[in-house]
Amino acid sequence: MSAATTAPRLLSGGNPQIPKGEGDAPVQAYIDAMPGWKSEVGRRLDVLISQAVPGVHKAVKWNSPLYGMAGQGWFLGVHCFTKYIKVAFFRGTSLQPVPPGTSKSQDTRYLDIREGDALDEARFLAWVKQASELPGERM
């Protein structure tokens, strides 16, 4: 981000307010604006998702990065909260093993990552690969 650019405003809970947009650039702007330790974790999640799904389609909508397959909908979203990052697997109940966080949405499951948590990268990669092969969420 250039010195002439104003840093994004953080919404309540510490989620960066990033203009919606398609592609890698808005996702990287979101990651750069994630406060504190969350930016490093967000960067690692983005690398892992891109590694698991070469050519993954990226966008920012509703102040959250979304990952999907072009023309097939979104399989994963990321959102910052005050004390954690929430990764939403939109078809999470179809993943093996099922991610631990429950949702009011019948199909969605969450992975919450808190400061200092060790991310099981092998399991995360497996979830991302599985999720990318399921029908995506239209948003």
Closest CA to 66 of 82, 96, 89, 100: 89
Condensed to tens digits (0 to 9), the pLDDT of residues 14-64 reads 788 888 999 999 999 999 999 999 999 999 999 999 999 999 999 999 999
Q: According to the model, what pLDDT value does residue 16 have?
A: 86
Condensed to tens digits (0 to 9), the pLDDT of residues 80-106 reads 999 999 999 999 999 999 999 999 999
Higher per-residue confidence, 55 vs 9: 55
Distance CA 124, CA 117 (A): 13
Q: According to the model, what pLDDT value does residue 11 have?
A: 74
Tokens of 98: 């099922």
Residues in contact with 6: Cβ distance below 8 Å, sequence separation at least 6, in sequence order: none
